[in-house]
Amino acid sequence: MKWSKNYIYTLKEAPTDAEIPSHKLMIRAGFMKKLAPGLYTYGNLALRAIRKFEAIIRDELNKRGCTEILMPMVHPRELWEETNRWKEMGAGLLKFQNRNEHWFCLGATHEEAVTDYIRNDLKSYKDLPKNLYQIQTKYRDEIRPRFGLMRGREFSMKDAYSFDINQEGALKSYDLMYDAYRSIFDRLGLNYRIVKADAGNIGGSQTHEFQLLADAGEDALLVSDTTEFAANIEVCPAIDATPHVSNEAEKPMEKFATPGQKTIADLSKFTGQSENELVKTLFYSANEGMDPKDKSLKAFAVLLRGSDEVNPVKVKNLLGLSNPPTMLTDQEVLEVSGSLPGSCGPVGLKIPVYMDNGVAGLKNYIVGANAEGFHLKNVNHGREYQPTKTADLRMARAGDKCPDSSGKLVAYRGIEVGHVFYLGKKYSEKMKATFLDQNGKAQNFEMGCYGIGVTRTVQAAIEQSHDADGIIWPRAIAPYQVHICALDPKDSAVMSLAESLERELESQCVDVLIDDRDERPGVKFKDADLLGFPVRIVIGKKGLDAGEVEVVERKTKQVVKLKPAEVHGQVMKFLEPGS
Amino acid sequence: MKWSKNYIYTLKEAPTDAEIPSHKLMIRAGFMKKLAPGLYTYGNLALRAIRKFEAIIRDELNKRGCTEILMPMVHPRELWEETNRWKEMGAGLLKFQNRNEHWFCLGATHEEAVTDYIRNDLKSYKDLPKNLYQIQTKYRDEIRPRFGLMRGREFSMKDAYSFDINQEGALKSYDLMYDAYRSIFDRLGLNYRIVKADAGNIGGSQTHEFQLLADAGEDALLVSDTTEFAANIEVCPAIDATPHVSNEAEKPMEKFATPGQKTIADLSKFTGQSENELVKTLFYSANEGMDPKDKSLKAFAVLLRGSDEVNPVKVKNLLGLSNPPTMLTDQEVLEVSGSLPGSCGPVGLKIPVYMDNGVAGLKNYIVGANAEGFHLKNVNHGREYQPTKTADLRMARAGDKCPDSSGKLVAYRGIEVGHVFYLGKKYSEKMKATFLDQNGKAQNFEMGCYGIGVTRTVQAAIEQSHDADGIIWPRAIAPYQVHICALDPKDSAVMSLAESLERELESQCVDVLIDDRDERPGVKFKDADLLGFPVRIVIGKKGLDAGEVEVVERKTKQVVKLKPAEVHGQVMKFLEPGS
């Protein structure tokens, strides 16, 4: 493909709304252009990368017996009402009325649509298992779209849905997809982790995220320095590397004045005790109703060491809530404790008190006295107060003990590009989707759902793999693998070598772009670095007269000068997996 | 691919809302399933056909230097306001507000989006010509979706847009796309016509439709029995095969009583004159404003022979209107003529009178007297009244003279599957999209737009190519080309032959489906006929023991019995183009 025959327009500067490197680079390289916030046109080069990634996905899924279909992007309201998600999905689900005043939404996910699709076809256990997938445009009405395709409104996803006769089968389907995803992301050659995650409101109990590692990632991950263990911080078990277990004898409790000492830092300085020996008390509401004033009824407290941070997802899961709990206001804290935050503690509270494991090992500790300007010292649980339950409620952090070895946890930032869920019967029960089992009895399907953010992965690849000059495409999804800079495009020897290399490489399924523009070498090299195809070949008249052509690896910038006949071999060497 | 590994569920009966054969067959074959009116999920087999057609389109467009991109399906209101189409497109354009209360629409076409995409990139005449295309989901809010994918709400289209420096270049781009479309539809091997068409409200002056011929088609076509000429009836010139030209001397006009004679048929019986010698007068309003009562100001009359039908598109084009004119009510006719319809005529009218060519050759004819129950005879234009203009205003019909030869026109029904438009500067002017010409002067782009209904074509192919038993797929887009009925799937010799044929054929890029279900032969044959892949191979244990396998061509139902080793050759023979 010649540059002049394609449509490639690069920019020197990224627009101001591009905040992270991959967004900036995609705009500068002309891979996408904004039509409106969160809505992008993909240029030809980006589309080539997207299509290559789609082909990898299809290959790995088809191999494993999955069947591709294509469901509509516009769904009728009645469908989503069957599962009550018309209400539950909230404002992110874009809803509209058509000219006949019927309500529809733009599909943000397709559990309902696929369950409707199969429910009259799959009649018998003999029809199972089945796994259907699609690659389809999705829409989520983000309030503030940002980071390009990372948090866009319109994007492309691969979503798959499995149907099985029982849980054992469903978990087998889950494992098969887990394996497929591993193969898919392995083929990208990028640095990723498979992490345990929270199921959110999709439902289901077993779930893993596939996270590409990148500093700009929105997710915090903790990864073992010893084993394969990795988890989203939301669900990572928190285990002290050095347990804080006190063997002191219990001392008598005392109330003491702490005027103006409101924060843990204040208190630590004032008392001389380290923050991890102090205990803080946080107040939440477990109300899930829509009335924001109805909080006092279900207030509860959480106790943590002063050095720790609460993990709302762990609290949510402990209490079986659908969403993380909200904090009480200062006024509400006063109502339930008798004091404003800063002097609160568990002693004497009439509401449930959930204690983090970290507090369990402490003795004779300091807590707020529930009286403005006073704390209690030598407090011991089981004596001054009885915790309702003790559990792991804090955020894990780098340096904590790895949950399945003696190693330690290391922190990374990740971009979620894939997600596998075991759903169980949540949707098949609500939508009355059944099959007849071996005994002729109607049973609900056991389901799983499996997503890959197609366009998001392409940008995430760039976020992970770039340098100051531009993109460094992984070979598997590079729009072109080879970029030939024809420095003197009007010279017939230069162009004839460029074209013969193109023919030769394309016959081996290596995609080639020839920069045949009438531009200075500096402009061409800058653009080649920006577009970031894995191998660059530089053919100039002067070099050619001396029998010399340059081959450059984008990633390492290693330059090799060769005779024209040796170029092809060097290119293939640079393109070898693992080179 | 084995049937048991795919997802194929056929139906014996089509649902009652399926009215035409292709819709019925697609539902029965499980190629698609309705989620809501006009919204369909495509099953795996239909998707295979769609993808094959897409691949043909891409191949022919890429060959001709077109560049694929992908634009969003959701567009911001501001974009469509630039061309005023936010209002002009009417209720078919689906509009909605998002959670931030911004207005958007679902793209029904992408002239605005693509013009926005290029307007900061294409700066110089040196960047031109360019032709960008996409294959994208479109949405049109049909009031009454019907005929499956023919008049659906969500559908897939290929739309391309050309940008040129001047009209000459734009017409060259037009011709190139016309040629591409011819190649694309030739490769389908279906019976189609390229017809002249009306540009509708997309704008532009030159336009052709690609019409697949089928009885259920919504468009009426007239095709020459002698030349390549073909036109949509909306724009087909009407030329009498035997001109009605009278050489009589003009006689004196007479008023005569015609009590109760209201229709042309009545009058013909009453006067003994044939319908094509009588002249009828029709009244229209040329008002284009939004106030439906403001008609009297711009009333006009159209004169036609009694045997002819008016063509509103020709009237629209003669008067330069954007939409075909509306007829006056009886009361309005009374106001402008002095009589109710049935006794009206051109003599004495104070409004413009447009005369069809067919009337021009008549003499001494009968028209209404603009007085209830009276007509005038021996009327002659130029004497009793002066027509404002004489033009071709009638519907052409089968039997008319071919406009470019001495042949005659034949009538067909067609399904519009492709459309090429020359747009000129309509969009580039409104959207201020300019480039600098050779003299450094800003010029608006000359544009063209080119559509192919991807999903519609797939259904149209079935509408044209089926029989009482099912679909007869054209080879080029058949989901699979070969259907192996393994009659005894548990017999290892049967399955091993089926699988080795599959391997052999697939190595030559022939797609094979093996029906390995535990079903009776009758069920398998019925399904094979319904699904309609071009070649069927029947392998049964009994036949195999006798060294015999059946190969059947779907189209002709020709059966050939062969030794296993000869099967492959026979299949390839049946699959040869033109076989």
Q: Do A94 and B98 lie within an 8 Å CB cutoff?
A: yes
Asked if B45 is an interface residue toward chain A (Cβ–Cβ < 8 A), one would say no
- Distance CA(B25)–CA(B471), nearest Å, equals 7
| Tens-place pLDDT, residues A38-86 | 999 999 999 999 999 999 999 999 999 999 999 999 999 999 999 999 9
The pLDDT value recorded for residue B578 is 64
The residue among A2, A32, A61, A70 with the most chain B CBs within 10 A of its CB, best to mutate, is A70
Q: Please check whether residue A564 is in contact with residue A493, taking contact to mean a CB–CB distance below 8 angstroms.
A: no
- Distance CA(A485)–CA(A501), nearest Å, equals 12
Per-residue tokens: A35: 């039509």
- Distance CA(A397)–CA(A409), nearest Å, equals 7
Helix (H) or strand (E) holding B168, with range, is: helix B167-188
| Tens-place pLDDT, residues A280-318 | 999 998 876 545 555 455 899 999 999 999 999 999 989
Instruction: Tell me the residues of chain B between 171 and 210 that have a Cβ less than 8 Å away from chain A.
Output: none
Nearest CA in chain B to A116: B35
Helix (H) or strand (E) holding B144, with range, is: none
Of A9, A35, A65, the CB nearest to B121: A9
Q: Name residue A216's amino acid.
A: A
Q: 3-state SS of chain B: helix, strand, coil percent to 5?
A: 30, 30, 40
In 3D, which of B89, B77, B97 has the Cα closest to residue A35? B77
Q: Do B35 and A75 lie within an 8 Å CB cutoff?
A: yes
Asked if A139 is an interface residue toward chain B (Cβ–Cβ < 8 A), one would say yes
**Phi-psi group of B73: left, alpha or beta (phi > 0 → left; psi -120 to 50 → alpha; rest → beta):** alpha
Q: Which residues of A touch B72 (CB under 8 A)?
A: 35-36, 39-41, 154
| Tens-place pLDDT, residues B266-301 | 999 999 999 999 999 999 988 765 455 554 458 999
Asked if B36 is an interface residue toward chain A (Cβ–Cβ < 8 A), one would say yes
Q: Do B73 and A154 lie within an 8 Å CB cutoff?
A: yes
How close is the nearest chain A Cα to the Cα of B516, in Å?
Answer: 13
The pLDDT value recorded for residue A338 is 93
The pLDDT value recorded for residue B109 is 93
Q: Please check whether residue B69 is in contact with residue B161, taking contact to mean a CB–CB distance below 8 angstroms.
A: no
* Sign of the alpha-carbon dihedral angle for B291, B295, B298, B304: positive
Asked if B9 is an interface residue toward chain A (Cβ–Cβ < 8 A), one would say yes
Q: Do B67 and A94 lie within an 8 Å CB cutoff?
A: no
Of A35, A92, A117, the CB nearest to B116: A35
- Distance CA(B70)–CA(B58), nearest Å, equals 13
Q: Do B41 and A71 lie within an 8 Å CB cutoff?
A: yes
The residue among A1, A41, A61, A162 with the most chain B CBs within 10 A of its CB, best to mutate, is A41
The pLDDT value recorded for residue B289 is 53
Asked if A73 is an interface residue toward chain B (Cβ–Cβ < 8 A), one would say yes
**How many CB pairs below 8 A link A and B?**
131
Cα maximum dimension of chain A: 96
Q: Which residues of B touch A158 (CB under 8 A)?
A: none
Asked if B137 is an interface residue toward chain A (Cβ–Cβ < 8 A), one would say yes
- Distance CA(B509)–CA(A180), nearest Å, equals 26
In 3D, which of B311, B315, B387 has the Cα closest to residue B345? B387
The pLDDT value recorded for residue A510 is 97
Residues A284/A287/A289/A293 CA torsion (nearest 10 deg): -60
| pTM, entire model | 0.90
Tens-digit pLDDT profile for chain B (579 aa)? 999 999 999 999 998 999 899 999 999 999 999 999 999 999 999 999 999 999 999 999 999 999 999 999 999 999 999 999 998 888 889 999 999 899 999 999 999 999 999 999 999 999 999 999 999 999 999 888 989 998 899 999 999 999 999 999 999 999 999 999 999 999 999 999 999 887 655 455 689 999 999 998 989 999 999 998 899 998 899 999 988 888 889 999 999 999 989 899 999 999 999 999 999 999 998 876 545 555 445 899 999 999 999 999 999 989 988 778 889 999 999 999 999 999 999 999 999 999 999 999 999 999 999 999 999 999 999 999 999 999 999 999 999 999 989 999 999 999 999 999 999 999 999 999 999 999 999 999 999 999 999 999 999 999 999 999 999 999 999 999 999 999 999 999 999 999 999 999 999 999 999 999 999 999 999 999 999 999 999 999 999 999 999 999 999 999 999 999 999 999 999 999 765
Quick one: DSSP state of residue A328?
A: P
How close is the nearest chain A Cα to the Cα of B94, in Å?
Answer: 7
Residue whose tokens read 């990723």: A192
DSSP B228-266: S-EEETTT-----SS-----PPP---EEEE-TT--SHHH
Q: Please check whether residue A495 is in contact with residue A489, taking contact to mean a CB–CB distance below 8 angstroms.
A: yes
How close is the nearest chain A Cα to the Cα of B232, in Å?
Answer: 30
- Distance CA(B374)–CA(B367), nearest Å, equals 9
- Cα angle B264, B396, B393 (rounded to 5 degrees) comes to 70
Q: Please check whether residue A394 is in contact with residue A238, taking contact to mean a CB–CB distance below 8 angstroms.
A: yes
Residue whose tokens read 């992965």: A457
Q: Do A130 and B7 lie within an 8 Å CB cutoff?
A: yes
Q: Please check whether residue B67 is in contact with residue A6, taking contact to mean a CB–CB distance below 8 angstroms.
A: yes
Asked if B241 is an interface residue toward chain A (Cβ–Cβ < 8 A), one would say no
Q: Name residue B53's amino acid.
A: F
Q: Do B7 and A137 lie within an 8 Å CB cutoff?
A: no
Q: Which residues of A touch B44 (CB under 8 A)?
A: 67-69
- Distance CA(B385)–CA(B374), nearest Å, equals 18
Q: Which residues of A touch B130 (CB under 8 A)?
A: 7
Helix (H) or strand (E) holding A414, with range, is: strand A409-424
- Distance CA(A520)–CA(A57), nearest Å, equals 40
Nearest CA in chain B to A43: B69
Count of residues in chain B: 579
SS3 assignment, position B59: helix
How close is the nearest chain B Cα to the Cα of A89, in Å?
Answer: 13
Phi, psi of B505 (to 5 degrees): -70, -40
Q: Do A47 and B69 lie within an 8 Å CB cutoff?
A: yes
Q: Please check whether residue B474 is in contact with residue B189, taking contact to mean a CB–CB distance below 8 angstroms.
A: yes
The pLDDT value recorded for residue B518 is 94
Q: Do A72 and B39 lie within an 8 Å CB cutoff?
A: yes
Nearest CA in chain B to A79: B35
The pLDDT value recorded for residue A298 is 84
Q: Do B36 and A76 lie within an 8 Å CB cutoff?
A: yes
Q: For chain B, how many helices (H) and strands (E)?
A: 16, 31
Strand ranges (E), B128-259:
130-139, 154-164, 192-196, 206-213, 219-224, 230-232, 254-257
B32-51: burial string, b at 16+ Cβ within 10 Å, e else: bbbbbbbbbbbbbbbbbbbe
How close is the nearest chain A Cα to the Cα of B43, in Å?
Answer: 5
Q: Which residues of B touch A33 (CB under 8 A)?
A: 117
Q: Which residues of A touch B141 (CB under 8 A)?
A: 98-99
Asked if A565 is an interface residue toward chain B (Cβ–Cβ < 8 A), one would say no
Phi, psi of B74 (to 5 degrees): -100, 125
Q: Please check whether residue A465 is in contact with residue A169, taking contact to mean a CB–CB distance below 8 angstroms.
A: no
Q: Do B72 and A154 lie within an 8 Å CB cutoff?
A: yes
Q: How far apart are the first and last CA of chain B?
A: 25
Asked if A75 is an interface residue toward chain B (Cβ–Cβ < 8 A), one would say yes
Of A7, A96, A104, the CB nearest to B132: A7
- Distance CA(B33)–CA(B26), nearest Å, equals 9
In 3D, which of B136, B162, B156 has the Cα closest to residue B64? B162
* Position A6 pLDDT exceeds 90: yes
Q: Please check whether residue B501 is in contact with residue B512, taking contact to mean a CB–CB distance below 8 angstroms.
A: yes
Q: Name residue A544's amino acid.
A: L
Q: Please check whether residue A32 is in contact with residue A469, taking contact to mean a CB–CB distance below 8 angstroms.
A: no
Helix (H) or strand (E) holding A259, with range, is: none
The pLDDT value recorded for residue B321 is 82
- Distance CA(B229)–CA(B252), nearest Å, equals 43
Q: Which residues of A touch B124 (CB under 8 A)?
A: none
* Position A196 pLDDT exceeds 90: no
| Tens-place pLDDT, residues A20-42 | 999 999 999 999 999 999 999 99
- Distance CA(A394)–CA(A401), nearest Å, equals 14
Complex ipTM value = 0.90
Q: How far apart are the first and last CA of chain A?
A: 25
Instruction: Tell me the residues of chain B between 152 and 171 that have a Cβ less than 8 Å away from chain A.
Output: 153-154
Count of residues in chain A: 579
Q: Name residue A291's amino acid.
A: D
Q: Do A7 and B130 lie within an 8 Å CB cutoff?
A: yes
Asked if A559 is an interface residue toward chain B (Cβ–Cβ < 8 A), one would say no
Q: Which residues of B touch A81 (CB under 8 A)?
A: none
How close is the nearest chain B Cα to the Cα of A527, in Å?
Answer: 16
**HEC string of A122-185?**
CCEHHHCCEEEEEEEEEECCCCCCECCCCECCEEEEEEEEEEECCHHHHHHHHHHHHHHHHHHH
Measured CA distances, A407 to A24, A224, A342, B411 (Å)? 38, 6, 36, 82
Asked if B96 is an interface residue toward chain A (Cβ–Cβ < 8 A), one would say yes
Asked if B79 is an interface residue toward chain A (Cβ–Cβ < 8 A), one would say yes
A238-250: burial string, b at 16+ Cβ within 10 Å, e else: bebeeeeeeeeee
Q: How many CA atoms lie within 13 A of B449 on its CB side?
A: 24
Q: Please check whether residue A6 is in contact with residue A513, taking contact to mean a CB–CB distance below 8 angstroms.
A: yes
**HEC string of A514-531?**
EECCCCCHHHHHHHHHHH
In 3D, which of B76, B67, B73 has the Cα closest to residue B98? B76
DSSP A435-461: EE-TTS-EEEPEEEEEEEEHHHHHHHH
Q: Do A153 and B74 lie within an 8 Å CB cutoff?
A: yes
* Chain mean position to CA B374: 44
Q: Do A73 and B137 lie within an 8 Å CB cutoff?
A: yes
- Cα angle B554, B555, B556 (rounded to 5 degrees) comes to 100
Per-residue tokens: B3: 């049937």
- Distance CA(B150)–CA(B452), nearest Å, equals 13
